[in-house]
Structure 1
Amino acid sequence: MTNPISRSPARRLQRGLALALAAGTLALSPAAHAWWNADWSQRTRVTLDTTDKGQAIGEAVSQVPLAIRLHSGNFDFLAGKDDGSDLRVLAADDKTVLPHRLERFDATNELAVLWVQVPSVAPGSDKNVVYVYTGNAKAPAATPAAASGGDAALKFAVHFDDQAAPGIDAVGQLRPVGALTPEPAGLLGAGARLAGTPLVWPVADGIKVAPNGAATLSLWARADGQAQGQLLALGPLSLALADGKVVARVGTVALTGGGVTPGSWLHVALVLEGSQARLHVNGAEVAKAAVATPEVAGEMRVGEGFTGAVDEINLAGTARSGAWLAVQAGSQGPAGLLVKSAKEASGEGEAGGGHGYFKVLFDNLTTDAWVVILILAAMFVVAAAVMVTKLRYILRADNDNRRFLGRFRDAGADLLKLDAGATHPNSSLYRLYLAGQRELVKRGVGAAEGRAAQGLSGASLDAVKASVDADLVRESHKLNAQMVWLTIAISGGPFLGLLGTVVGVMITFAAIAAAGDVNVNAIAPGIAAALLATVAGLSVAIPSLFGYNYLASRIKNISADMQIFVDEFITRVAEEFGSR
C-alpha cells in the first residue's frame, strides 16, 4: 500500500495502535530466532523456496544475484532512515553480513530495490534465507557492494540504474554509443526504452569469448505490440524474437523455443558450453544444440528492430547451470513462487508459525482502512451501549409491569388509589395508570364517596382514553428510542467495511504495479489487511442484528401489553364511574 502520505504522523500513530492491538497475539508467540543486533529493530525475512511449493531446482547453486523488492507489505520504511543507509543484509546464519547495492530507495512512496549476492541456494528447501535489517537511526552508512555484485565470472553487466551515466557497463566501464532513452518502469528500477534503433557498446577485449570457451549471455526484455526484432547481437551470437518465439543463433545454428507475451517481461539466456549451446527462457531450458563455441568478439548491439524495453544485460565467462538461471529468473522476475518475504520486529517468534498473523494484518492496513475501522469501532461502541441500555430498561419495565398488573387486577374499590405505596417506578403500565388517574381526578372522580356526584359521560370517557392513548404513544417512543443506531450499524457496517476493503485492494494493486513485484507474498498481506475492514464491518453488523431482533421482540410484547392495559383500564373506569 503505497501512499504519498504514508510517512505522516497519522501513519506513525496507526503503527503504534497496530502494535498495541497485536500485543496479545505476539505475547503468545514462540521463542524468537536469534536477532543479529539489538540496535536494529526491524527486519525482512526473504526466503527462496526451492521446494515443490515454490520453484523446484535440481541442484545447489552458488553466488546468485538476488534482487530484493521492498514495499510496505514486507518492509517497515518508518523504522529506518529515509535514504536506506541503515540497511544491512545478513546471510541465512543471521551472522554474516553480505554486501548489497541499492538500485532504488523511495521512502516517501515506500518502494525500494536492493541487490545482494546469495552465497548458496539449496534444492528442495524453504530454508534459503537472507535477512534485511533496518531501524537503526545511528547506524553508519553501509559500504555498498561493487556494481558488478562481486561476481568474478561477469565480463559485461548493464543495470541501467546509474542516472549520471545510464547504460554504463558495471564491469569494464564501457559506455553506450549515442543517447539512451531511459524506461522508468523497468524490470526493477529503471531500464532502457528501444524503438528500433539499437544501443551499441564498442568493441572491447573484456567481452571477447575464446573458441570452444564457455559463456552465458542473458537479458530481460519486454516487447510492445508485435514481438519482433533482435534483442542482442555479439559477433556470431544473437538473440531475437520472431513469430512469437525466441530465436538464438550461434553462427549458422539456430535454437528456437519459448513463448513471448507482449507487455510481459521475458528472461532470455544463451549458454555456451564449448561443444553445445542451450537456450533458456524464463529460467527453463527450451532448446539445445551441439555446436562448438566460435570466437566471439565485436560490438555489443541491443534492440535492433525491436520496440519495447530491456534491462539487466549480462555476459558471463562461464556456462551457467539450468538451476542457476532458474533461480536468477525466478528471483528477479515480476512474478513467481520462488521468493517469499515478510517483515518481522525484534522479539517476534519464528518457529511454529513465525510472526503473528494479526500483526501482519495491522501492519499492512492502509490509511483509508484505518479510518473505516475506527469509524466502525465507534459504531460498535454506540451499538453495544444502546443494546446494554435498552436491555436493562426493558427488563426492568417488564418486571415492574408484571408486579403492577397483578395489583391492578386485584384492586376493587381502591382502583384509583394504587399509587399509594407504589414500588414499580419502571413500569410503563403504571405510568399509563397515573395518566388515567390524573384525568379522572380532574373530572371529580375519586371524591369523598369514591365516585363523582354524577357518573362520567361517554364523552368524558373518550377524553380520558385519548389522554391515556397519548401517553401510550410517548411510552412507545421511549421503548424504541435509540434503536435507530442499531439499524444504522446493521445496514451501514457491512457497506463501510466493503468500502475499506475495495479501496485497500485498489491501493495494494497500485503499489504492486509500481513496485513490479506481483508474487503472492507481495499481494497477500495487503489483500488480507484490506479484508480486515470487511471483517470489522460484519463484526459490527452481526451482533447488532441479533441484539436488534431480540430487543424488538421484547419491545413488541411490552407495546401489546400497554394496549391491552389501556383497554382494561378504560373498561374498569366505565364500569365503576360511568353514568347509569
Structure 2
Amino acid sequence: MTLGTRKGIQLRIAQAVAALVLVVALWPQQAAAWWNDEWSMRKKIVFDTGASGAAVSDAIGTTPMLVRLHVGNFRFGSAKEDGGDLRFVAGDDKTPLKHHVEKYDSLIGEALIWVAVPDLKPGTKNEIWLYYGNAKVPAAVDAKNTYDPNTLLVYHFAERGTPPQDISAWGNSATTPVAAADGAIIGQGARFDGQSALTIPAGPPLATAEGGEMTWSLWLKSAAPQPRAVLYARRDGANALIIGLDNGVPFVEVTAAGATQRGVGGAAIPAATWHHLAVTAKAGQIVIYVDGAQAGTLAAALPALTGIASVGKDAAAAAPAPDAAAAPVAADAAAAPAAAGDAAAAPAATPDAAAAPTVPADAAVAPDAAGAAPLIGFVGDIDEFQIAKVARPAGFIKVAAIGQGPDQAKLTTFSVDEETASWLSGYFAVILKSVTLDGWIVIGILAIMMVISWVVMVDRVSYLNRVTKGNTVFLKHFREAANDLEGVLQLDSEESDPSLGGGVDVKHHKIIHASPLYRLMHLGAQQIRLRFSGNGGARALSPQAIQSIRAVLDSGLIHEAQRLNKMMVMLTIAISGGPFLGLLGTVVGVMITFAAIAASGDVNVNAIAPGIAAALVATVAGLAVAIPALFGYNYLTIRIKDATNDMHVFVDELVTKMAESYHQQPGAPRRQAAE
C-alpha cells in the first residue's frame, strides 16, 4: 500500500467520523418516548420516598398524591385556562392516571390536583409525567376513581355556603354546611366555633362492624388549647367512638356496651399551626399518628357503629331531652293497661325504657362515669377530612402527612418543562428561555466564531485533499520520467505549462496544477531557463547557480507552506478565545441572577436554578466553539506537516537531479557554466 493510498483511507475515515458526529449533534432530540404527540409540553414529577427525600421505609401502596402547581414550577400560560388539558401518566410514559382538580386558578398561578399514583414504593424515587399544552382536548377529571374503593369519605371543603360534598365514589356527603376557612393547608378549609357541628348521615357504607378496621384522618389548626375538644364523634346506643384533643393532646375514646377505654397520643399539638392527625384501627389495636409519626396506641377494638357521625362537636350527646309534656302521656298510656291487669300490655314500657339514650341529654356538659372533664366543641380550622374502611399502612399515612403539608418539597420535586417537535426540546428549551441579553450577546459572538472556524476547517480540508491528490499524481509521473530531467522540465519548449515530458494527459493536468510540488518544479524550470538563455546555450550549472536555484526553491516552499496554513490562526483564536468568552458570559449571567434574587428576596431553588443554568449556556457555547476547532486544528496541523515534509523532500530531490544533470564538467572554463 502506497503512502498516498494510506492517506486516502485515513482521510475517508476522518470524514466519516466527522459526519457521524455532526449528524448526532444535529439530530432532533427528545428525552424519552412521548405519550401523545398532541400534547406539546410535559414535565416529570418525582415522589422521593428514599433517604434523600421523605425517608419512608414502610409499605405505602396505591395512594392519591397532591400535586401543587404554581408559577415557580408550572407554565400556566401554556395550558388551558381551566386546566382541562392536564393529563398525568405513569413513569412508564404509557399508563394514564386518574386525577381531579380541587382548585385551578391560572390568573394567580395556583393549582391543587389529586392524582392516583399506583403502588407507590418506599425507599426509592417514584416518577410520573404531567402533560399539558393541548387547546383542543376536553377535560378528563375523574374524582371518584382517584381514590380506591376502600376510601369511604373525602371532604376537600371547597364548597362555600353548602354542605361539604364527598369526592369518593360512595357519596357520603354531609347534611349541614360549615363556615369556610380561607387559606387552609390545602386550598379552602372548614372553620368551627365550638358550637357548630358537621353532620354525616348514617348509611351502609359507613357502618362499622364490631372489631372492624378503619382509617380516619384530617388536617387541623386549633385556635387555642381546649380540654376534651371533640374532633369526631359517632354514637350508636351504648357504643361510641370519640376522637379529639385534650389541651392539644390527641385522644381516642372507645365505648363498647357502656364501658369506655381511652388512649392518648403523646405530646400536645401546638395551637395556631397546621398538623396532620390520623387514627387507624385493626385487630384490637388503635394507633394514633401525628404528622405521619406514631404518637400513641390503645388496645381496644372498634364497637359496632351504624348511626350518624359529627365533626367539630359531639352532636348526638348534645341532643335535647324528650318533651316534658309528652312524657306523662306516655307514662299514662303505659300504666293504664297495667292497672287493668293486662299482662300482655306490661312489656310495652320495656322498649321505651330501652330506647332512651344511655347517655343523658346533658352529657356534653356533664362529666362521664369515670369523672373525666366534659366534652366540648372544637374551636379552630379543619381541612382534608378522610375515612377509609381499612387500616392504612404507616407508610401511607406518612406520605399523606408529608405530601400534603408544608414539608411537601421533601417528597415531591418537579423537573423542567420539556417540549416536543423540536431539537431544542426539553431541558434545553427552558434554559434558553432564561438566557439574559448579555448572555445572548456573548453567545452571538461565539456563534460567529464557530461559523468562521467551521468554514476554515472545511476550506482547509478541501484544499489539503486537492494538494494530496495532486502531489500523488505529480510524483507518479515525475518519477516515471525522472531519468530525462530535461524532457520533464521542457527547457526547449516555449509553453509555460510543462507536461512532464508529455506523460501527463489532459485529464490529469487540472489535478497536477493543485500540487505545490508541481509549482516548485515549474519554479525550478524557470530558473534554469533563465540561466541557460543568458549563457550562450551552455547546458551546465555552476555550484553557485545551483545554490541560487535552491534558495529560490526554498522561498517558493515557504510561500507554499503559507498557503497551506492560510486562516489557521482563526482556529487558534477559537480554541483559546472561545472558552474565555463563554466564561465571561457565565460570570456576568450569575452576577445578574444573584442581583435579581437579592432585589426580589425570593431564594427558592425554582427562582435560582433557571438563571444559573442559563448563565452556564455561555460556557457551553464557548466549549462548543473550542472543542471542534481543537480537533480540527490538530488534524489539519498533521496533514499540513505531511505536505510540508513532502515539499522539503521534493526540493532536495529536484536540486540533486539538477546537480547531476547540469553539473560543470571538470576542466571546463568557468565562463561556460551558467552562473
Tell whether the structures are fold-level matches, with TM greater than 0.5: yes
- How far did 1:34 drift? 1.5
Distance in 1 of aligned mates of 2:413 and 2:592? 32
1:330 matches 2:402:
yes
Aligned ranges 1:50-199 → 2 under 5 Å: 50-126=49-125, 128-142=126-140, 144-147=141-144, 149-163=146-160, 165-171=162-168, 172-199=170-197
Instruction: Write the deviation string for residues 495-520 of structure 1: whole angstroms up to 9, x where unpaired.
Output: 986662134334x7xxxxxxxxxxxx
| 299, 304, 307: which one aligns with 2:308 | 299
- How far did 1:105 drift? 0.8
Aligned ranges 1:427-576 → 2 under 5 Å: 500-506=596-602, 523-529=604-610
Q: Does the 8 A contact of 1:44 with 1:344 survive in 2?
A: yes
- How far did 1:123 drift? 1.8
Instruction: Write the deviation string for residues 102-122 of structure 1: whole angstroms up to 9, x where unpaired.
Output: 111111111111111111111
Match of 1:473 in 2: none
Q: Does the 8 A contact of 1:504 with 1:530 survive in 2?
A: no
Q: Does the 8 A contact of 2:420 with 2:426 survive in 1?
A: no
Distance in 2 of aligned mates of 1:238 and 1:528? 48
Aligned ranges 1:187-266 → 2 under 5 Å: 187-205=185-203, 206-226=205-225, 229-235=229-235, 236-251=240-255, 252-266=261-275
Q: Does the 8 A contact of 1:361 with 1:528 survive in 2?
A: no
Question: Could you say what secondary structure the match of 2:400 adopts?
Answer: helix
Give RMSD over aligned pairs: 4.0
Match of 1:340 in 2: 413
- TM-score norm. by structure 1 comes to 0.57
Q: Select between 59-68 and 166-175 the one with higher mean Cα deviation.
A: 166-175
- How far did 1:221 drift? 0.9
Distance in 1 of aligned mates of 2:26 and 2:112? 33
Instruction: Write the deviation string for residues 277-311 of structure 1: whole angstroms up to 9, x where unpaired.
Output: 11111111121222122123433222233232111
Q: Does the 8 A contact of 1:60 with 1:120 survive in 2?
A: no
- How far did 1:151 drift? 1.7
Match of 1:289 in 2: 298
1:153 is aligned with what amino acid? N
Structure 1 residues 70 and 202, CA gap change in structure 2 (3 angstroms): closer
Question: Could you say what secondary structure the match of 2:396 adopts?
Answer: helix
How many residue pairs were aligned? 380
Question: Could you say what secondary structure the match of 1:257 adopts?
Answer: coil
Structure 1 residues 244 and 164, CA gap change in structure 2 (3 angstroms): closer
1:135 is aligned with what amino acid? G
Distance in 2 of aligned mates of 1:361 and 1:503? 22
Match of 1:452 in 2: none
Match of 2:279 in 1: 270
Structure 1 residues 263 and 534, CA gap change in structure 2 (3 angstroms): farther
Instruction: Write the deviation string for residues 361-398 of structure 1: whole angstroms up to 9, x where unpaired.
Output: 676x7xxxx9xx65x779999xxxxxxxxxxxxxxxxx
Gaps of 5+ in 2: 1-24, 256-260, 314-376, 444-587, 618-675
Instruction: Write the deviation string for residues 462-517 of structure 1: whole angstroms up to 9, x where unpaired.
Output: xxxxxxxxxxxxxxxxxxxxxxxxxxxxxx999986662134334x7xxxxxxxxx
Structure 1 residues 166 and 380, CA gap change in structure 2 (3 angstroms): farther
- How far did 1:534 drift? 11
- How far did 1:527 drift? 4.0
Instruction: Write the deviation string for residues 336-373 of structure 1: whole angstroms up to 9, x where unpaired.
Output: 41111223213599xxxx964x766676x7xxxx9xx6
Question: Rg bigger for which structure?
Answer: 2
Distance in 1 of aligned mates of 2:164 and 2:174? 6
Instruction: Write the deviation string for residues 74-110 of structure 1: whole angstroms up to 9, x where unpaired.
Output: 2221211111111111112111111210111111111
Distance in 2 of aligned mates of 1:242 and 1:42? 50
Structure 1 residues 500 and 105, CA gap change in structure 2 (3 angstroms): same
1:273 is aligned with what amino acid? K
1:524 is aligned with what amino acid? V
- How far did 1:167 drift? 1.1
Instruction: Write the deviation string for residues 299-336 of structure 1: whole angstroms up to 9, x where unpaired.
Output: 32222332321111111111111111112222222214
1:169 is aligned with what amino acid? D
Distance in 1 of aligned mates of 2:270 and 2:27? 47
Instruction: Write the deviation string for residues 522-573 of structure 1: whole angstroms up to 9, x where unpaired.
Output: x42124457799999xxxxxxxxxxxxxxxxxxxxxxxxxxxxxxxxxxxxx
- How far did 1:253 drift? 2.2
Question: Could you say what secondary structure the match of 2:301 adopts?
Answer: coil
Distance in 2 of aligned mates of 1:348 and 1:223? 52
Q: Does the 8 A contact of 1:361 with 1:525 survive in 2?
A: no
2:232 is aligned with what amino acid? L
- How far did 1:196 drift? 1.8
Q: Select between 79-88 and 335-344 the one with higher mean Cα deviation.
A: 335-344
1:41 matches 2:45:
no
Question: Could you say what secondary structure the match of 1:238 adopts?
Answer: strand
Structure 1 residues 27 and 315, CA gap change in structure 2 (3 angstroms): farther
Question: Could you say what secondary structure the match of 1:168 adopts?
Answer: coil
Q: Does the 8 A contact of 1:32 with 1:347 survive in 2?
A: no
Distance in 2 of aligned mates of 1:49 and 1:173? 33
Distance in 2 of aligned mates of 1:159 and 1:91? 25
Aligned ranges 1:366-385 → 2 under 5 Å: none
Question: Could you say what secondary structure the match of 2:143 adopts?
Answer: coil
Distance in 1 of aligned mates of 2:102 and 2:186? 8
- How far did 1:242 drift? 2.7
Question: Could you say what secondary structure the match of 1:78 adopts?
Answer: helix
Structure 1 residues 378 and 146, CA gap change in structure 2 (3 angstroms): closer
Q: Compare relative contact order (CA 8 Å, sep 6+) and give the higher one, 1 or 2.
A: 1
Question: Could you say what secondary structure the match of 1:308 adopts?
Answer: strand
Instruction: Write the deviation string for residues 149-204 of structure 1: whole angstroms up to 9, x where unpaired.
Output: 34211222211124584412334444544442112212222111222234321441
Distance in 2 of aligned mates of 1:312 and 1:114? 13
Question: Could you say what secondary structure the match of 2:75 adopts?
Answer: coil
- TM-score norm. by structure 2 comes to 0.50
- How far did 1:62 drift? 2.3
Structure 1 residues 74 and 227, CA gap change in structure 2 (3 angstroms): farther
Question: Could you say what secondary structure the match of 1:343 adopts?
Answer: coil
2:230 is aligned with what amino acid? Q
Distance in 2 of aligned mates of 1:222 and 1:118? 28
Distance in 2 of aligned mates of 1:104 and 1:48? 21
Q: Does the 8 A contact of 1:271 with 1:319 survive in 2?
A: yes
Distance in 1 of aligned mates of 2:216 and 2:413? 27
- How far did 1:63 drift? 2.1
Distance in 2 of aligned mates of 1:68 and 1:173? 24
Q: Does the 8 A contact of 1:502 with 1:530 survive in 2?
A: no
Distance in 1 of aligned mates of 2:193 and 2:26? 57
Q: Select between 166-175 and 205-214 the one with higher mean Cα deviation.
A: 166-175
Structure 1 residues 257 and 282, CA gap change in structure 2 (3 angstroms): same
Distance in 2 of aligned mates of 1:494 and 1:97? 40
